[in-house]
Amino acid sequence: MERSFRKEVAKLRLGEGEVFHGEGILAVTKALLQSGVSYVGGYQGAPISHLMDVLADAQPVLDELGIHFEPCANEAAAAAMLAASVNYPIRGAVTWKSVVGTNVASDGLSNLASAGVKGGALIVLGEDYGEGASIIQERTHAFAMKSAMCLIDPRPDLEAIVRLVEQGFALSEASSMPAMMELRIRACHVHGHFRTRDNVRPRFSHNDKITQPDFDFGRVCLPPATYAQEKHKIEHRLPAAIDFIRTHKLNETYPGETDEIGIIVQGGICNTLLRGLAQFGLADAFGTTKVPVHVLNVTYPLVPDEIAGFCAGKRAVLVVEEGQPEFIEQAVNAILRKADVNAVVCGKDVLPMAGEYTAETMLRGLDGFLARHAPASLGAGEAVARVGRLLAEKDEAAKAFGPNLPLRTPSFCTGCPERPIFSAIRIMERELGPVHVSADIGCHTFAALPPFNVGNSVMGYGLGLASSAGLAPSFGKRLVSIMGDGGFWHNGIASGVIPAQTNGADGVLLVVNNGYTSATGWQKLPSSVRGPDGRPRVLSIKRALKGLGIRWLCTVRTYSVGRMVAMLRTAMTTAEKGLKVIIADGECQLARQRRIRPEIARQLAGGKRVVRTRFGVDDDVCTGDHSCIRLSGCPSLTVKPSPDPLRSDPVAHVDNDCVGCGVCGEVADAAVLCPSFYEARIVQNPTPLDRALARLRGGTIRLLGGLRRAA
């Protein structure tokens, strides 16, 4: 795992009245234990990967309480776990990254939401929306509305988050609706404190088992029960949820100092709003605001009378709602018209329809709203003018830079074992011409960016091979499909390999086997060498493929660029029909470095001989054409001025971050570039033999150098 929570999980044992200090994601875990959950599960993905990591590290605490924890095969499996709460009064929580995970889980979620729940069911979602996001930009809100699930969007404050987790279960039980809680990245990592309560032993668990199965056809998703379930959502569940939200004051109102204007904000971006208001002198660092603010900690369902009450008598109200479509703004308009409240509703007219509401975006939106509607009594006129001038200056500066600023795109890590696969594809293309590559989700998706630009389409996690199915029969060359080991087990084996076999597909599949779900923080996979508990794992991608009848199958070490090119060439040109699979093997370099660093430190401290490999470029040989950089893309490969005064082109240079994977040299060799690369071995704690050899080599080099000068 990227991060261990072994020390922090001690805080999960805090009892009544103690004070927890720490991070949002850990507070969520503590809140789950205080809520008496019986089971937890999920599938990792930013920004909630750490929740899975915390739960894995908290296994001893979970065991004591009898709570079952299951890292699921994918999000659909996690959603299906919640079936336990359909029939029995037991509480459960699952987690994944949204919206991609919610897409995968949506079949299970529709069935769950239709059947309704007896025990509280909470889905903790990492809402990966905005500038740091790595996925398609959509909102979870639409899922909540279509399936009638409550959507909690807590204010990023630990007390608020913990209260809403606990109340989320109660809300779910009161309304029979599953509750989703969306946590943006800032909420996951916000630090703070809250007063803890004792952990609650679940009513049913490992320790206290259910003895009688429950059968109720009304909870089975089959007609005619489904018709009654839909009516139940409208007639009972939604009204019950609205009643609970109102009665338990899940939403919050800050009164402010004016009756003329107000702001309605999603809980998750409340801090950004208050920070923005502070820039106008209308709020302080502790959240006291002069403009009345209604914080929607639950964004679905809305409570109509709460909203109408907040807006009544105001001239204008700003709805701060991140993303599109403007579900909340539309709903507020409808609520106000029905209640005959005549406040002007602003929102997407002053704030952008799409994209994250960063601090600057918020400032621009507030500036637009306040300039039009702020009453003089707030005394914000001067601040509004000042912020307006500042933003205009920023716009001028951006215009001066023009569209020519280079993009800072992400890339593979130094020494990544996935990079050489794409160098090999590029080298193969020199012989066979351009190929169509159906890419997949994972670190390997970075290959679509420069310098490789390999990857023509991305359709979803584990869907690389499936996304070749439509094009392959109509394409004049075999397609290359990519799939990571994470994607393979998540669904690629079922949605890609099995259909390819049964439908007689004739293509090339590259399974990138780096041993972890690296992009989400190195969680273990079914085929990882060891599980999180350190025990060896038994599943193997190779055996699974053989079991499915794949005959053309080979494993290639990714760093062996020459062999990878040769196998790709063969797979693309062989007369043999059917799916040809190359398992590209190479441990994630970042995980490997973390794994071996403590071991190396131990060896050095114990006086043991340690050899590190580094690569370099010989300045005298490098011609400065930089093909190695274009074909390797390693961030450690850079340029420096040529030491030769007669050559103006900079030469290639390997900087100090090099981990000695050897790919640059391999690529130079496989692509027949030049012999500039050399390998150097750095020996720490050398033996007498090492020292003698070093003296001998140094002497020989000096001697030959002297002879050359003399000649």
Q: Which residues bind ligand SF4 (CB under 6 A)?
A: 412-416, 418, 443, 514, 518-519, 588-590, 615, 632, 634, 636-637, 654, 658-664
Q: Toward ligand SF4, which CB reaches closer, 179 or 628?
A: 628
Q: Kindly state the smallest distance separating residue 577's Cβ from ligand SF4, in Å.
A: 32
Question: How is 639-689 classified by DSSP, letter by letter?
Answer: EE--S-TT--SPEEEE-TT-----HHHHHHHHTT--S-EEEEEEEES--HH
To ligand SF4, the closest distance from the beta carbon of 48 in angstroms equals 18
| Nearest approach, Cβ of residue 414 and ligand SF4 (Å) | 5
CA-CA distance, 426 to 454, in Å (whole number)?
8
Q: Tell me the closest approach of the beta carbon of residue 587 to ligand SF4, in angstroms.
A: 8
In this structure, what token pair is assigned to residue 334?
Answer: 């409808």
Cβ distance to ligand SF4 smaller for residue 482 or 664: 664
Nearer to ligand SF4, 77 or 663 (CB): 663
For β-strands 437-439 and 637-640, DSSP reports them as unpaired
CA dist list (Å): 552 to 439, 556, 567, 576: 21, 13, 11, 8
Q: What Cα–Cα distance (Å) separates residue 50 from each residue in 42, 97, 189, 464?
A: 11, 11, 10, 27
Rounded to a whole number of angstroms, the minimum distance from the CB of residue 283 to ligand SF4 is 40
Rounded to 10 degrees, the C-alpha dihedral 127/272/352/96 comes to: 0
CB of 477 to ligand SF4, least distance (A): 28
Contact (CB, 8 A) for 557 and 418: no
Residues 537-553 as b/e (b if ≥16 CB within 10 A, e otherwise) read eeeebbebbeeeebebb
Whole-number minimum distance, CB 96 to ligand SF4, in Å? 20
Q: At its nearest, how many Å lie between ligand SF4 and the CB of residue 658?
A: 3
**Would you say 99 or 561 has its CB closer to ligand SF4?**
561
Q: Would you say 25 or 591 has its CB closer to ligand SF4?
A: 591
> Which H/E stretch holds residue 266?
strand 261-266
Q: Which is nearer to ligand SF4, 306 or 418 (CB)?
A: 418
Q: Report how far residue 508's alpha carbon sits from residue 502's, in angstroms, rounded to the nearest whole number.
A: 16
**What's the rounded Cα separation, in Å, for the pair 73 and 71?**
7
Q: Which is nearer to ligand SF4, 102 or 518 (CB)?
A: 518
Q: Which helix (H) or strand (E) segment is 189 a member of? A: helix 185-189
Quote the least distance from Cβ 636 to ligand SF4, whole Å: 4
Q: What is d(CA 250, CA 572) in angstroms, rounded to the nearest whole number?
A: 60
Tell me how far, at minimum, the Cβ of 635 lies from ligand SF4, in Å. Answer: 7
Residue keyed to tokens 């599953």: 178
Query: Which residue, 93 or 617, is less far from ligand SF4 as judged by CB?
Result: 617
Q: Residue 121 or 443: which CB sits closer to ligand SF4?
A: 443
CB 187 within 8 Å of CB 156: yes
CA–CA distance, 465 with 642 (Å, rounded to integer): 45
Element (H, E) at 428: helix 419-432
**Cβ at position 418, least distance to ligand SF4 in Å:** 5
- In the complex with ligand SF4, the residue whose CB is nearer, 3 or 338, is 3
Q: Cβ of 8: how many Cβ atoms within 10 Å?
A: 17
Between 21 and 594, CB nearer to ligand SF4: 594
Closer Cβ to ligand SF4, 320 or 590, answer by number: 590
Q: How far is the CB of 616 from ligand SF4 (least distance, A)?
A: 9
- Retrieve residue 116's tokens: 């309704």
Shortest Å, Cβ 596 to ligand SF4 = 13
Minimum gap (Å) between residue 536 Cβ and ligand SF4: 22
For residue 540, the minimal CB distance to ligand SF4 (Å) is 19
User: 149 and 178 in contact (C-beta within 8 Å)?
Assistant: yes
Q: Can you tell me the distance from the alpha carbon of 502 to that of 504, in angstroms, rounded to the nearest whole number?
A: 6
**Three-class HEC string of 102-145:** HHHHHHHHHHHHHHCCCCCEEEEEEECCCCCCCCCCCCCHHHHH
Measured from the CB atom, is 511 or 519 closer to ligand SF4?
Answer: 519
Strands (E), 144-260: 150-152, 179-183, 191-195, 252-254
CB 187 within 8 A of CB 52: no
User: What does residue 517 show for φ and ψ, rounded to 5 degrees?
Assistant: -85, 85
- The nearest distance, CB 518 to ligand SF4, in angstroms, is 4
CB of 519 to ligand SF4, least distance (A): 6
Q: Which residues pair with 679 in a beta bridge?
A: 615
User: What is the b/e burial string over 106-116, where b = at least 16 CB atoms within 10 angstroms of the residue's CB?
Assistant: bebbbbbbbbb
Q: Compute the distance between CA of residue 187 and CA of residue 83 in angstroms, rounded to an integer.
A: 28
User: Which residue lies nearer to ligand SF4 by CB, 128 or 166?
Assistant: 128
Residues forming beta bridges with residue 127, ordered by sequence position = 98
DSSP 237: I
Residue ranges with strand state E in 413-568: 437-439, 457-458, 480-484, 508-513, 516-517, 523-524, 552-557
The smaller minimum CB distance to ligand SF4, of residues 477 and 640, is found at 640
Q: Give whichever of 116 and 415 is closer to ligand SF4, judged by the CB atom.
A: 415
Closest to ligand SF4 by CB, 648 vs 656, is 656
